[in-house]
Amino acid sequence: MVWEERWHPLREEWVTIAAHRQNRPWQGETVRAETKFVPEYAGDCYLCPGNTRISGRRNEDYAGVYVFDNDHPCVGLDAPTDLAAPTGIYRNRPATGIARVVCYSPQHNSSLAQLSPGEIRSLLGVWREQYLDLAARPEINHVLLFENRGEVVGVSNPHPHCQIYATNFVFKTIADEARVSLAHWRETGRVLFQDIIAAERQDEIRILAENEHAIAFVPYFARYAYDVCVAPKRTHRSVADLSGDELSDLAAALKIVLVKFDNLWQAPFPYVMTLHQAPTDGGDYRGFHFYIAFHPPLRKPNLLKYMGGPETGGGSFISDTSPEEKAAELRAASNIHYTQSN
């Protein structure tokens, strides 16, 4: 048995690695893996081309990437300002912002993993356009792009899509990363994420994909079993700052990771994907390095990583797996999607 603590430099917290717990007896709940038929077009899907959404608005008959304002946004530009004053030390304010939906493809049965590198490159271009549009608005301080994939992370509609929350506040994880990255820059003159990339390239064993301009790896400090970072090698604050070649190489690395995920268990792999981009509030973000993070919730087929006392109550992760072992599993997975290899 090995008990080890690894420092997560971006979050400034310790991650406990207790990989021997992966095979402990389990009598709790499991996730059923059911193979469901998913049609190319679904008449009752709110995201398919030409369909009417719950708001009564009709989708365009789109052929590529399609973006629209969320019909049930968590924030709004017309958020009410006449809020009741809270008691004592409590504070409140209007939840101002813009929420959008980005459909990757008109095909209901597709996924980000099944898009071609060229299609992923086009999607990155749309993400860039959305970031620039929303970041230019004075009321927006942060643009968060994310995808929740799979029913186990709460997705009710399988149509391939992600969401954008452009808000009047900075999400805490990004705020913390910006703070520690700036502190590292001031103390060392180096970019923190560049130091992470350098360490991963030196170790090599956790790297999943690498090309001229991009790299993907299971980080040394992984919290979830299959945590993965996909990043440009040069430091940029957002996807909007990447060159055309960098976007193409990032798309290629992203494609490899996504395919390896699905190929690992020959099934659609659930995850939470987030784009870590600098806030847009005009702050000092020297040293901030844009990257894409994947947090898959399964540590085994059909078995979730549950948030228990240490994680939810204590605020520190205990990992039941070894980042090196999980990286080896993903490295061994094919780069050709299992649905195309038969």
- Residues catalogued as catalytic: 161
The annotation status of 229 as a binding-site residue, yes or no, is no
Cα–Cα distance, 24 to 299 (Å, whole number):
12
Q: Which residues contact 3 (CB under 8 A, 6 or more apart)?
A: 16, 17, 18
Residue listed under structure tokens 């304010």: 93
Residue 84: which residues within 8 A CB-CB, separation 6 or more?
none
Tokens in use for 324?
Answer: 């090196």
213 in a labelled binding site: no
What is the residue type of 151? E
Structure tokens of 150? 């799979």
The C-alpha atoms of residue 161 and residue 121 are separated, in whole angstroms, by 15
Pick the closest to residue 289 from 182, 146, 130 (CA basis).
182
48 is in an annotated binding site: yes
H/E stretch holding 29 reads none
Place of tokens 């205990």: 318
Q: Which residue carries 């469901």 as its tokens?
A: 36
Is 103 labelled as part of a ligand binding site?
no
Which residues are annotated binding-site positions for Zn(2+)? 45, 48, 108, 159
